[in-house]
A and B are shown apart, each in its own frame.
Chain A
Amino acid sequence: MIVHVAEYLAWIISALLAAWMVFDAAKVSREHPEEFLTTSVEGTDELLTSPAAERALDPKEERS
């Protein structure tokens, strides 16, 4: 009996989650321009690009 209840619960939870995600994705797509949603650019690592880190990691600095 408890297994059957668990099975029904599994179906219901799955359906709710799927519906929420699809609804949210559609809503976001409707409310924000596509150009904005797809504007991401590949990241850079602050450790490797900050001037302080550049100095700290510079092999010439290490040698001196």
Chain B
Amino acid sequence: MTSVVPGNPSPEEVRPAAESHGDKSHLALKKVLGPAHIWGLGVGIVLVGEYMGWNFSVQKGGMFGALIAAWVVGVLYTCVAMIDSEVTSTVAAAGGQYTQAKHMIGPLMAFNVGLFLVLEYTMLEAADANVMSYLVSTIANHLGYTGDVNQYAFIILAIMVLAFLNYRGVLATLSINMVITAIAAIAIVVLFVSTQGWNPDAQLHFHGLVSSQANALPYGWLGVLAAFQFGMWYYLGIEGTCQAAEECRSAARSIPLGTMTGIITLLMAAVLTWYVCAGTLPWQYLGVSITPLFDTALVNAGGAVATLLALGTVFATLASANGCINDASRAWFSMGRDNYLPAWFGAIHPRYRTPFRAILFLVPVAIAFAILPVLLNKPELLATVITFSILSALLMYSFMVPNMFRFRKLWPVGVLHRGYTHPLHPVPAITLAVIAALVLFATFLGYGTTLVTLVIFYLLASIWFVLFRYKYVRRGQQFTMPWPRPKGY
């Protein structure tokens, strides 16, 4: 029984928000997003990796190792973007790759993919919030403050403000994301222009790289392989565009346009970032720098450009955490809606039309992982948290390969309307499989224990699902897309 209270929507107000589905009214996520929002979501999650993190690949493989990693991992993510654009342009549902798995493979795979997604984005959000508090501390020190800044306060503030934004509605959330992401992306171009990047002899210096292998490839090809793990930072999260499919005015148009322009933006940003940083900072310093782009701006330009890059660093971090909250909550919500998790999580707010319970539930999880490195006074734990995110993403990319083959086999081109059809199938899927295996191996070399721990976690979660949740999954209702009968069935 619904009651009417001031400030709360009456059943009559709710009615327009509910959409008619046959003879039964139902709540739905708001369809308000366009290609620019999708671009902002995808690039926003990732761009922080250009501002910090990618440069650890320099520590592993030297300057050229980092550049090769940017190219090779760039190919991996171009394949991811192409495959996701095609499949999601037909699967217009929240949950992205989880929903794909549900339609194409089966419940156990879908449950695992859903968990990969939630862990990937929640861990990334936790790392972003941790970095945000570090940035506040750094800014305070630059302003002359010599004491310790309370990191807990700013970690929790960042997560709370962004969760609140997400709770209140997707349009404002992703519009803000689009604007701050665009500013952060433009800042990289401004840095390139201010260093006269088109004239390598003006301010940038590459002589040391071409004249000495000790500078360019200090650890040889093994170093290049090790650099792949951190090369992921240039692009990790672009696949998050799929989570917004159900909220697009037209997923068939917005998802491919937003995702493909997003990966093009990131490929350009990655190369520009490497170019200005490699031409400015010695590799020994660049490999351990916390804020390489800002440091490059300080050395090369200073003044207004350095301030813009500082602003870009803060905006990129906020945009990433913001996009992660959006994506993790959609994946969690979708799993609740399908009874893979308690159905309670599948609720939509009648006024804001957001998955409010999923958003709220993941807040303490993100805070716990964000404050862990501070609480235990082990800053190195931040790398472990980020590695959880990277490994979950890699496991998901591994799923995308059989998923793509199955999609094309069951619904060949011409049988099903696609918003985008990627060329050269199966080359992108095979390329994705080979490079993902290479990066997994490289990550295993650096973080073998973390990888094994994570695999055990997913194994235990799968056992829990089979024993305790599978009985609630309504298999007959899993297939929701208005597609023709699959070929061979």
Contact = CB atoms under 8 A, between A and B. Distances in A.
Contact of A32 (B2, B21, B163): B2
Interface stretch (B146-154, B275-283, B467-475): B146-154
Contact of A47 (B3, B29, B94, B253): B253
Interface stretch (B48-56, B118-126, B215-223, B343-351): B343-351
Contact of B419 (A7, A42, A48, A58): A48
B414 interface: yes
Interface in B135-184: 136, 140, 145, 147, 149-150, 153-154, 156-157, 160-161, 163-164, 167
B240 to A, nearest CB: 18
A37 B346 CA distance: 8
A29 B2 CA distance: 10
A51 interface: no
Interface in B244-265: 245-246, 248-253
Given A11-B153, A14-B156, A44-B481, A28 B349 contact: yes
Interface string B383-420: 00000000000000000000000000000001001010
A28 to B, nearest CB: 6
A4 B49 CA distance: 30
Contacts of A40: 26-29, 337, 346, 348
B427 interface: no
B238 interface: no
Contact of B163 (A21, A44, A59): A21
B5 interface: yes
A45 B27 contact: no
B252 A48 contact: yes
Interface in A30-60: 31-34, 36-49, 53-54, 57-59
B350 A32 contact: yes
Nearest to B343: A38
Given A25-B360, A48-B419, A14 B153 contact: yes
Contacts of A47: 250-253, 419
B109 to A, nearest CB: 17
A17 B161 contact: yes
A24 B161 CA distance: 15
Contacts of A46: 249-250
A31 B2 contact: yes
A41 B250 contact: no
A17 B167 CA distance: 11
Interface in B98-137: 99, 136
Contact of B26 (A3, A21, A41): A41
Contact of A54 (B25, B31, B343, B417): B417
- Bin chain B's interface residue count: 35 or more
Contact of A45 (B92, B357, B360): B92
Interface in B338-383: 343-344, 346-351, 356-357, 360, 363
Interface string A13-29: 11001101110110111
A40 B414 CA distance: 30
B160 A17 contact: yes
A40 B29 CA distance: 8
B482 interface: yes
Contact of A7 (B25, B153, B351, B360): B153
Contacts of A38: 337, 343-344, 346-348
B27 A39 contact: yes
Contacts of B284: none
Contacts of B252: 45, 47-48
Contacts of A58: 417
A36 B27 contact: yes
A31 B3 contact: yes
B90 interface: yes
A10 B94 contact: no
Nearest to B164: A17
A34 B350 CA distance: 11
B164 A20 contact: yes
B286 interface: no
Nearest to B353: A40
Contacts of A2: 145
B157 A43 contact: no
Contacts of A57: 417
5 contacts: A21-B163, A21-B356, A25-B356, A32-B2, A39-B25
Q: Which 9 A-B pairs have the closest CB atoms?
A: A39-B26, A42-B93, A37-B347, A10-B153, A45-B92, A10-B157, A42-B480, A43-B246, A14-B160
Interface of A: 2-3, 6-7, 10-11, 13-14, 17-18, 20-22, 24-25, 27-29, 31-34, 36-49, 53-54, 57-59
Given A33-B2, A46-B250, 15 more contacts: A2-B145, A3-B145, A3-B149, A11-B156, A21-B163, A25-B357, A31-B5, A34-B347, A37-B348, A39-B25, A42-B93, A42-B94, A43-B245, A48-B482, A54-B417
